[in-house]
Chain A
């Protein structure tokens, strides 16, 4: 009989890791990543979709090495600590759909929960609406969980099931490093202006991604679980990590002179501009994140967490990640990003779909004597 003893599983462990991720995120911005984006899982997955040619938004196409590095860092951690376990079978198709709508919601706000925190830490007050929406979405998800919502069990599966996503991510990482362009009009695409053209030196991005993936796999860092556990269980464990993440990013932003408070930015000559990659349509910022928060909550974790789980062999989380990739393409191809014309329509359709998944999710028998 052993008792769980693991520094990473402790309160101090997750706080230290939250601080580390916050410092790394703000530093990546300092070294070239887009402002208040740092390590946004939604934005960077969207950029990857663009690089692969899945959407045509020319300013957000870049094969971000951070995302594959997240997965591979988590993969290494899982192997080292004997936690790699191939598994699947918990409603993979529904997880794909949840991943799609989580992404569609997040891109209406212009950021996943990670970026919501980073935007707050950078002084973008539109993030307050986004975080309020996120918490609302999670709270709705908690109601479903309280009445027994479940996507069903996953089961141990064969080795290739668990290995598939790390291999896909390794291929993406190699593509990011060598960045082949097969012809003038073919992939890989790379933005020459806009956020897609802003990037930290690739070696920094890869090392940062691997470190974050490793640490997050060990601590189970999760920005959605943080609020879910607080509401559902009165458990501050994960939230203490997320608070540390915001505080560290805020302090680093002050040091790097990256903190610019306001809903909009006012230049010295009095001209007003938007915060970086942001809009001020408050109801859409809120509702987009309600959709994202509910989708993440029903799927069991934030976008980062889904990437880390896919690295430790969870084939269902891998389906969610692929759903996010497709969702990003759909968002841009159908003008549903930010305050674009189809965004309100996307919120309504998304909420109908995700509520339907929530309502039809059955509890499963768990008691035996």
Chain B
């Protein structure tokens, strides 16, 4: 897990966080990916994209930053 891919999508406008999610998931195929976003909107957008591709989504927030974990 040390080389887990981590994507920093903080501060990016729609649809970039979701697009980055899609590109990363397609690239990885399976495994675990971590994303950083800073609005609930982007948590929802990234989650929707990941779930459509069959990935499991969880997230946690600390100080306004959301850390999303995607697994397949």
Q: Assess whether A2 is interfacial by the CB under 8 Å rule.
A: yes
Known: A2-B60, A367-B6. A89 touches B48 (CB 8 A): no
Asked if residues B5 and A369 are in contact (CB atoms below 8 Å), the reply is yes
Say yes or no for A251: interface residue by CB 8 A criterion: no
Q: Given A83-B40, A220-B41, A220-B44, are A145 and B16 neighbors across the interface (CB < 8 Å)?
A: yes
Nearest CB of chain B from residue A82's CB, rounded to whole Å: 9
| Dominant secondary structure at the B interface | mixed
Q: Is the CB of B11 within 8 A of A89?
A: yes
Residues of A near B9 (CB, < 8 A) are: 366
A150-B12, A156-B64 given; A235·B49 CB < 8 A: yes
Q: A183 an interface residue at 8 Å Cβ cutoff? A: no
Interface segment among A122-130, A224-232, A325-333: the answer is A224-232
Interface flags, A152-169, vs B, CB<8A=1, else 0 = 111110000000000000
A299: CB under 8 A from chain B? yes
A residues near B20, Cβ cutoff 8 Å: 366
Cross-chain contact B64 with A85 (CB below 8 angstroms): yes
B44 touches A9 (CB 8 A): yes
A1 in contact with B15 given A85-B38, A235-B48, A367-B6 (CB within 8 Å): no
- Whether a CB of chain A sits under 8 angstroms from the CB of B8 is yes
Q: Shortest CB–CB separation between residue B15 and chain A, in angstroms? A: 6
Q: Which residue of A lies closest to B43 (CB)?
A: A4
Supposing A4-B59, A368-B8 touch, asked if A300 and B44 sit within 8 A by C-beta, the answer is: no
B10 to chain A, nearest CB (A): 6
Contact B48 A90 (CB under 8 A): no
A3 / chain B contacts, CB cutoff of 8 Å: 57-59
Q: Shortest CB–CB separation between residue B9 and chain A, in angstroms?
A: 6
Q: Does B62 contact A (CB under 8 A)?
A: no
Q: Knowing A220-B41, A220-B44, say if A232 contacts B15 (CB, 8 Å).
A: yes
Name the contact of A235 in the complex, choosing from B5, B38, B52, B64 (C-beta under 8 A): B52
Is residue A237 within 8 Å, beta carbon to beta carbon, of the partner chain? yes
Q: How far is the CA of A369 from the CA of B2 in the complex (A)?
A: 8
A87 at the interface (CB under 8 A from B): yes
Q: Flag if B12 contacts A153 (CB, 8 Å).
A: yes
Q: What residues make up the interface of A, taking CB atoms closer than 8 Å to B?
A: 1-4, 6, 9, 81, 83, 85, 87, 89-90, 145-146, 150-156, 220, 222, 225, 228-229, 232-233, 235, 237, 299-301, 316, 366-369
A-B pairs with the 8 shortest C-beta distances? Answer: A153-B11, A300-B13, A154-B11, A1-B58, A300-B14, A9-B44, A368-B6, A4-B47
13 additional contacts (CB under 8 A) given A85-B38, A145-B19, A368-B8: A1-B58, A3-B57, A6-B44, A9-B44, A81-B40, A85-B39, A150-B16, A152-B11, A153-B11, A156-B38, A220-B41, A316-B13, A369-B3
